[in-house]
Structure 1
């Protein structure tokens, strides 16, 4: 199987344009020869800046930049620290409309002597940064359910083309973690699934789609594998107790596949894996993991980027002045979002001047970063066209690909009694629960149903549950969506579903995020999983419920104790 997916990826890479040209006469070396130490150290940092405009942010954003960095504008931040990259977020007010994002990107590039990596986390599914009209796919686990490498490639290609159109040249995706822990609070549906072979094939296909289909740099994350934890590294330091053999079997294959597919970047995880480094350091700061495993054993010589250094998982053992130095000593190249940029920048400069880090070590990382920029055409790219960005993002062709891909991801888990497919024309359907009941109701209404939406959210009160039960009595069919219901195993979402099942009205339950709660809902004989509540998933769900398309997905994770990996029904 491993050889089969490598052949598929090789065919994809050989058949499609976009592979970088030969480097020629060391343009990276020529740039480095003109750089000061301060500029080289700046290349090792990527962080965020506040504002929708590079040189004229809103007054509130200028105040935030002053508080964080002592400058008013994103352009001033880039120039002061000679940054290697900038990261876009909605909360830092970078992302509004396509033309605005493109203009911001152009302004930032104009402020930088060396062209920037401009990055964001457009994983799709539950982690997206670009707002509408950006094409929003249902995410990794849905693609894993669909089992289609061409679909995974196309989803990444569309995503990458829309990012590149607005000047974003690096996507912190795909997620290469193998989600083998149903209690995982931070990965879950961000993973392609619980089987390393499936995750490896999908990871490689998305790397190819981003890089060779769209010319956008990809980053496989989170090395050495964040799929078996019940702690969120944003708020704590997870410990993964896989043996070395288990790591080789479960966690390593997707990263091997990403490297074989030519991935530009690998992102580190703030996790402790004692079998890989008995010192107890998080992987981001571990030389045995980043140098010993990633560089030497897996043979990766691209850019290693840390996960955000603001996260608690990397800050528990060492101070914020030591973390960036230790990450570089471990083998990282690009330091992402230190909590105090000036402290981190000065700490690295001090470590070089004091001899803890050699200039040769800094040069190795700078060369990797500049090589990535050269091979992706970033060093020679001109400004992007804001008008073209507006035409590209969310274009009709992309929406057609989106719906076609999403239609193949819905998974039928249970259909006792043959309730599905259901004739809904002229029938009264109650669409309720978490997720997007209103979106599903609108889609069912467009197909002739008389559909009513009653959203309850993820914490429905007793009063809301009673309202839904009362409404069910006057409807012919109830479709109830669940999302992360097992965060409270005796909680309100499960009580809502069980109360609806007890009404006697036929009920379909749909897990629109992790599917694990379906095994607990034995009262409901009709069960589906979409792994996402994006609008395209609601359309696909309606098509499956009505029989317009058959369910084609298969579970990409085991749902114990009821449903094994690979389970899926059709009609």
Structure 2
């Protein structure tokens, strides 16, 4: 890695002073971004921000500018905790040293990078990384994570847990979606995370989609658009230092594929007309709400670009469609450059250069950070990229950092974070939101609600047995029923139950008055379906609860009672207990159509279907 001098402190001071002045003028609330014309006060704020960003840009070296384009997944519980993966991937021992060495514009947190333990720890990690950036004369960091909620949740309890996008789509409540994003954003910002790669704007029209599914709000573009707009308002609303930058993904739309772009390169055959009607509306809605950033998809859409390049590397898609047709002026991110969908056609050294040539601004998680940074610098030195092109992206990044108060307030109070994250008020709101999402798909034998409490209930089926946080789903639901006066037995059988596990569950069913079975993608797992059929054959009342995709109910006719939660969170399990025992009437409506198991072209349960009582 080339040695680079620090940004002159005078330039940092200019930027911070202008940012503080802009903040004093008062940035408009997110709802004001809908107005067709901006007030003079807002225009003055934007002019001050632009001037400050441009002034700082003029004082940066090429190497410093290029560093701002990269986000890396650094390792360690604290900024100064040595971690072998830092040495292996970046050539230094601590996360702080990674930030200093590569002049990073941002970092991203995951559970597997040892970033999440509790609120105080995350806040102190963030402070340590910001201190490393600022003390070395660099700019404060964008600190990001993927807190979509639901199946993509990086920060578990004590952070407040919501059930995820498709569950919110089932509720049909844009206000609940906004509240979920607002609370999530405030809690993230309290621990020093200032950007969330959410919400997901994909329209999930393909039931076989292995990577999106319940991460999408719906198969209906209008419903997805409404929910995305509400969540952008929630994440980015209020004062700049209270919320986070939202990032909608995955442009131009990842909802109609049966290939996971982590492991392959999906091809989607939407025409321009289909794209405009199906995929584009949620991105248009997000842009209209002033979303700060948009993430690309590693997918090929031949009828939008016949080059064969993934959209991340496509000038037609990024510059032509996102910038030109949709008019997006914010920051464009790649999805992770470690994914096979990005790496399938080009060597790692070429990916950052091709992405920048396509119109992308930020390069997320390259496989080899030093190689990626040097490849961009070399491309400028050889003339393949101009420094002016680099400046365009850096200016957008600086503007976003200014807009969200990241440069004026990079540090957080760990004690305040402990008080805010997962507080009682937020937990109460989360449970109310979750209660609105349970969907009753079948109740053919009128088993629900159970007016008379059963004496003993077996809770079995799939469970998050490797739960990163808290108790596994079967145990959580068992405890919720037990707390309501029902004797329960929890027996987890897993994603692909063995014959022995199935036999044990059938035997246990004989010792109970009723059975509740949790399923997770049983539509794709024949052994889960076998478990359901054998439990139904016992003659005991069986209630199936699909805790992820809503397609399971069409695959096991022997079970006549089906609920869908779209989530296996503790809050969702509490909502199930309430519905089963009649404390709560189900309010959810299917946000997708459920096809027949025998003919995918025949709808078994239509969009909007949902029973109540």
TM-score band w.r.t. shorter chain: over 0.9
Which residue number corresponds to residue 307 of structure 2? Answer: 279
Partner in structure 1 of residue 91 of structure 2: 70
- Residue 382 (structure 1) shift: 4.3
RMSD over equivalenced CA pairs, Å: 1.5
Alignment of 1:240-389 (within 5 A): 240-389=268-417
Alignment-derived partner of residue 612 in structure 2: 570
- Match for 1:122 among 120, 141, 147? 147
Once the two structures are TM-superposed, the CA of residue 13 in structure 1 deviates from its matched residue by 7.0
Q: State which of 498, 501, 526 in structure 1 corresponds to 2:561.
A: 526
8 Å CA contact 2:200, 2:215 repeated in 1 = yes
Report the Cα offset of residue 472 of structure 1: 1.2
Aligned match of 2:499: 462
More divergent stretch after superposition (418-427 vs 91-100)? 418-427
Question: Quick check: 1:13–1:208 contact (8 Å CA) kept in 2?
Answer: no
* Contact 1:152–1:206, Cα closer than 8 Å, also in 2: yes
Unaligned runs of 5+ in 2: 1-29, 36-41, 464-472, 597-603
Tell me which residue corresponds to 1:39. 64
CA contact (8 A) 2:547 2:567 kept: yes
Q: Distance in 2 between matches of 1:230 and 1:430?
A: 35
Q: Is the 8 A contact 1:12 1:208 kept in 2?
A: no
Per the normalisation by structure 2, the TM-score is 0.88
Question: What is aligned with 1:420?
Answer: 448
Residue among 197, 204, 208 paired with 1:183:
208
2:243 to 189, 194, 215: 215
Alignment partners' CA distance in 2, 1:104 and 1:414: 47
- CA distance in structure 2 between the aligned counterparts of 1:10 and 1:373, rounded to whole angstroms: 20
SS in 2 for 1:486: coil
Kept in 1, the 8 Å contact 2:203–2:278? The answer is yes
> How far apart are residue 474 of structure 1 and its match?
2.1
Could you say what secondary structure the match of 2:248 adopts? strand
3-state SS in 1 of match to 2:594: coil
1:106 aligns with 2:127: yes
SS in 2 for 1:222: strand
CA-to-partner distance for each residue in 1:535-570, whole Å, 9 max, x for gaps? 000000111111111100000011013101110010
How far off its partner does 1:209 sit? Answer: 0.4
2:53 counterpart residue number: 28
Shift of 1:345: 0.3
> Aligned to 2:344, what secondary structure does the other structure show?
coil
Aligned mate of 2:584, from 549, 552, 562: 549
SS state at 1:487 partner: coil
Residue in structure 1 matched with residue 508 of structure 2 by the alignment: 471
Q: Deviations over 1:31-75 (max 9, x none)?
A: 1121111100000000111111112x14xx1x2211111112111
Distance 1:564 1:223 in 2: 27
SS in 1 for 2:396: helix
1: distance between equivalents of 2:354 and 2:68?
17
Which residue matches 1:502? 537
How far, CA to CA, are the matches of 2:589 and 2:52 in structure 1?
A: 48
Deviation of the 1:321 alpha carbon: 0.5
Q: Does residue 482 of structure 2 align to residue 445 of structure 1? A: yes
1:540 corresponding residue in structure 2? 575
Cα pair 2:474 2:492 within 8 Å, conserved: yes
1:89 aligns with 2:117: no
The gaps in structure 1 that reach 5 residues or longer are 1-8
Q: In structure 2, what is the Cα distance between the partners aligned to 1:542 and 1:11?
A: 41
Distance 2:452 2:73 in 1: 48
Q: Contact conserved, 2:109 with 2:145, CA < 8 A, in 1?
A: yes
Aligned to 1:163: 188
1:369-393 C-alpha deviation (Å, 9 max, x unpaired): 0000000011111420011111111
- TM-score (norm: length of structure 1): 0.95
How far, CA to CA, are the matches of 2:411 and 2:43 in structure 1?
19
Question: Does the 8 Å CA contact 1:322/1:347 hold for their aligned counterparts?
Answer: yes
